[in-house]
Amino acid sequence: MDKRFGTLRHLLLVASTALGILVFLHSNSSQPYVHRLLFGSATALLSLGCISVVVALYGEIGTLTRLLRSLHAELKRAKSVGERAKPVGVGEKKLFLAAETCAYVFVAISFPLLSLYAFAK
């Protein structure tokens, strides 16, 4: 879980930095329709990737919170009964797993689009 959290954090850092640089350095000069389409789609996918990463990170935090609550309840139960605590686990919600998958897909597609935009320009 710690590796996934770190990976998502780094992905958010890379995607948001690329989005910020891209928007800052973009000129408003008139460009052909293809260039504007490539830029717009790459920017939109990168933005959707950032939003998906944030949702996935929120899911990771929620999973950790549920795990701690479950562990606390199990420790209380074991202490009251006088036995060893059993291992606990919680499942991840499908929404957050889907958001994580979408984040990887959106960011992975946006960078080739940015390369096409750079070569077309």
Per cent of the chain over pLDDT 70 is 99
Q: Residue 22 domain-assigned?
A: no
Q: Which domain holds residue 6?
A: 2-16+31-120
pLDDT digits (tens, 9 = 90+) for 71-107: 999 999 999 998 998 999 898 899 999 999 999 999 9
Q: 39 CB contacts (<8 Å, ≥6 apart)?
A: 26, 31, 117
Q: Residue 23 domain-assigned?
A: no
Res. 23: pLDDT tops 90? no
Distance CA 53, CA 49 (A): 6
Q: Residue 26 domain-assigned?
A: no
Q: Residue 54 domain-assigned?
A: yes
CA distances from 105 to 24, 27, 46, 102 (A): 24, 27, 10, 5
Question: How large is the average pLDDT for residues 52-58?
Answer: 95
Q: Residue 24 domain-assigned?
A: no
For the chain, what is the domain count? 1
